[in-house]
Amino acid sequence: MQKRFARMTRIDDSINAIDGLECWGIKEGKDGLGIVKCEGKISGVFTTNRIKAAPVIVTAEHVKGGSFKGLVVNSGNANAFTGEKGFENAKRMAEILASKLSCKPEEIAVCSTGVIGRQLKMGWIESKMEEVFARLENSREAAKNFVKAITTTDRFLKEYAVKVGDIIIAGVAKGAGMIAPSMKSATTATMLAFLFTDADLEKTEMDGFLLNAVERSFNVATVDGDTSTNDTVLLISTGKKKVERDDKELFRDALTHVCFQLAKMIVKDGEGATKVFEVHVKNARSDEEAFKAAKTIANSLLVKTAIFGCDANWGRIIAALGYSGIEITENITLWFEKDVESEKNGKKGNEKVYLLEKGVQTGFEDEASDFLRKTDDFRIIVELDVGDGKGYAIGCDLTYDYVKLNAEYTT
C-alpha cells in the first residue's frame, strides 16, 4: 500500500482546500448549524437502521439526482422519530438553502445529529441559517467553524486531507460513538462524514468509490456496535481536475485512506476509550470472512475489557474468532504489532509480540501485557491458513468511563 501512495501526501488544510467551496458554522451550547456551498456532483451512503431520521430520507432522495449545490447540517437534534412534521422540517431546511442559492431543493443535502424524538426548533434554525449564510467563505477558519458546528459530544475535531498528484480529497467528520450526556430524552451516537474532492468523476464511479471506501473504513469502525438512525457519508466532487484513467484506482484507495483515518479518529474519540486498535485477519477463506472475523473480534466485550486492563488474553480473541462463524483451523498465528521509529536513524519499523505461532502458545503473555501498557494505538494480527482473504476492523477498549458516560449523565 505504502508504495502506491508515494504520490499521496497529507496536507494541513481542510475542506477549504477545495477551490470554489465556501462554508461556515455556528455552535451555541448544544445546538449548532453549519452550511457548505459548493457546486458539483454528489454521492451518499446512509445508515442501514430501519428507523431512518427525516433528513436521511430526504437527502438519500436528493442524492439520487446527483447534482449538488449546498449542504446544511444541524447538531443538537437528530430530527429522528419525529413523524410527518419532522419530514416537513427537513424538507424546509433544504428549501431555505435552495432559495438562497437559487437552486432546486433536490440539489441540497440536509443532515441532523443529536437527540431523537424531538421536533426541531425551526425558528432558531432559520435565523442561524441566515446568519451562517451571510458569513460563507473559503478559509481555514471557516472550515474549522463548520466542523465545530456539527459536533455533539466529540472531544476533538476530525479533519483529514490529502493531495494525490494535483487532486485533493478533504474530509471532515463528527461522531464519538456516544450519547449526548445530558438529558432524559433519547439520543444515539451519529456519525456524519463529508468528503470533498476536485476530481472529475462520473456519478456512477463516485457511487462505487464511496461505497467501497465506507465498507473499508466507517463500516469496520466499531465503538459499541450500535448503529445510529442518522449516519450519513457524502462525497462531493467539483470536477475541476481531470483524473487519468490509470489514476482512478489510486483515487479510490486515497479516498478509502481518508475515510479510514476519519473512522479511526471517531473510534479514538469513542466514549471513555483509552486505546484504539486495528484487528487484521489474514489468510481467511475470503475477504468477506476476514472482515467478518475482524469485526467480531473488535466488537467482543471480553476483548475490549481485556485491552482496557492491558491483559494479553489471546483466548478471548480466539473465542471471538471462533464464534464469528468463519472457516478456521487451530493452526493460528496471532501477534500484537505497533509502528515504531528508530531513535537513532529515524527508520520506521514494527514492534511485534507473538502470542500464538501456528497454533502453539509462545508463552509471551507477560511481554504482550507490557506491550499493551505502553501503547494506545496498535494492531492485533490474526493469521489463518485457509485461504488468502484479508480484512480488518477498528475498535477501542471498553472502560469505566464508557459505562459512566452512558449510564450516569441522565438526570
- Cell numbers placing 179: 450519547
Q: Report if residue 147 touches a copy of itself, rule: CB under 8 A.
A: no
Q: x/- string (CB under 8 A) for a copy of itself, residues 110-129? A: -----xxx------------
**188 versus 333: smaller Cβ distance to a copy of itself:** 188
Q: Where are the beta strands (DSSP E) in 144-254?
A: 158-164, 167-174, 192-199, 221-222, 232-241
- Among positions 249, 325, 351, 388, the unique one binding a copy of itself when judged by CB under 8 A: 325
Q: Kindly identify the residues of this chain, within the stretch 193-252, that bind a copy of itself according to CB under 8 A.
A: 224-229
What are 301-306's contacts with CB under 8 Å, separation 24+? 301/398, 303/395, 304/395, 304/396, 304/397, 304/398, 305/397, 305/398
- Closest approach, Cβ 406 to a copy of itself, in A, equals 4
The DSSP line for 60-88 is: HHHHHH-EEEEEEEEEEE---S-HHHHHH
Q: What is the CA radius of gyration of the chain?
A: 22
Q: Kindly identify the residues of this chain, within the stretch 291-310, that bind a copy of itself according to CB under 8 A.
A: 299-302, 305-306, 308-310
Catalytic residues: 190
- Going across the sheet that includes 221-222, the strands are 221-222, 389-396, 276-284, 377-383, 333-341, 348-357, 360-361
Q: Report if residue 406 touches a copy of itself, rule: CB under 8 A.
A: yes
In which residue are the cell numbers 503473555 written? Answer: 365
- Closest approach, Cβ 335 to a copy of itself, in A, equals 15
**197 versus 324: smaller Cβ distance to a copy of itself:** 324
Cα–Cα nearest to 236, from 147, 149, 107: 107
Q: Report if residue 83 touches a copy of itself, rule: CB under 8 A.
A: yes
**23 versus 80: smaller Cβ distance to a copy of itself:** 80
Q: How far apart are CA 133 and CA 136, in angstroms?
A: 5
- Cell numbers placing 96: 431555505
Q: Report if residue 153 touches a copy of itself, rule: CB under 8 A.
A: no
Kind plus residue range of the DSSP H or E element containing 148: helix 140-150
Alpha-carbon separation of residue 42 from 176, 240, 276 (angstroms): 25, 14, 31
**86 versus 171: smaller Cβ distance to a copy of itself:** 86
Q: Report if residue 362 touches a copy of itself, rule: CB under 8 A.
A: no
- Among positions 286, 319, 352, 357, the unique one binding a copy of itself when judged by CB under 8 A: 319
Q: Report if residue 184 touches a copy of itself, rule: CB under 8 A.
A: yes
**105 versus 389: smaller Cβ distance to a copy of itself:** 389
- Closest approach, Cβ 79 to a copy of itself, in A, equals 13
Size of the site for a copy of itself (CB under 8 A): 68
Q: Report if residue 322 touches a copy of itself, rule: CB under 8 A.
A: yes
For residue 116, what are the contacts with CB-CB under 8 A and spacing of at least 6? 53, 78, 80, 81, 185, 186, 187, 188, 229
Residue 287, Ramachandran bin (φ over 0: left; ψ between -120 and 50: alpha; else beta): alpha
Q: How far apart are CA 331 and CA 357, in angstroms?
A: 8
- Closest approach, Cβ 259 to a copy of itself, in A, equals 20
**24 versus 291: smaller Cβ distance to a copy of itself:** 291
List interacting residues with a copy of itself (CB under 8 A): 47-52, 80-81, 83, 115-117, 179, 184-189, 224-229, 299-302, 305-306, 308-316, 318-328, 330, 359, 361, 365-366, 369, 398-400, 402-404, 406-408, 410-411
